[in-house]
Amino acid sequence: MPTTLFLLWLLAGQAAPPQTPCEAALAAGIGPGSAEACQGDQARKAADTARGTAAERARQLADAVEHYERAANLLTNPSAKARVLAELVRLFDPAMLNRPGDLQAVRKQLTVLEPANLT
């Protein structure tokens, strides 16, 4: 019994994995914005597992960006929209697509939604 309580205590202290943009959008409600977020997740995962050329990976990432941008425009739930924008920040980062102008614009949008989160 003490071992079980200890294990439960350990598990309770672990943080849940962060939601994907799709999960966040679906939690806010099913609609066009959540569909776009889920398509963005699919394209990003395809890029992450692409075994083809760098051009194929870049195409998949560009598809993900298009879907996430549409999702950000369609979503009205602030936390779902913020999650999608955070994913765009990650994709526009120099380590991924290296699009500094887009990165700055999305960061501004994210700051409006989450002023305490200055990523």
Q: What pLDDT is recorded for position 7?
A: 40
Coil, strand, or helix at residue 16?
coil
Percent helix, strand, coil in the chain, to 5, is 75, 0, 25
pTM for the whole structure = 0.82
Q: Going along the chain, which residue ranges are E strands?
A: none
Dump pLDDT digits (tens) for 28-82: 999 999 999 999 999 999 998 877 788 888 899 999 999 999 999 999 999 999 9
Give the model's confidence band at 15: pLDDT under 50 very low, under 70 low, under 90 confident, else very high.
low
Report which DSSP code applies to 96. Answer: T
Q: What pLDDT is recorded for position 5?
A: 42
Please state, rounded to an integer, the average pLDDT across all residues of the chain.
86
Q: Which residues contact 15 (CB under 8 A, 6 or more apart)?
A: none
Domain boundaries, the chain: 20-113
Q: Which residues contact 31 (CB under 8 A, 6 or more apart)?
A: 74
Token code pair at residue 116: 């305490």
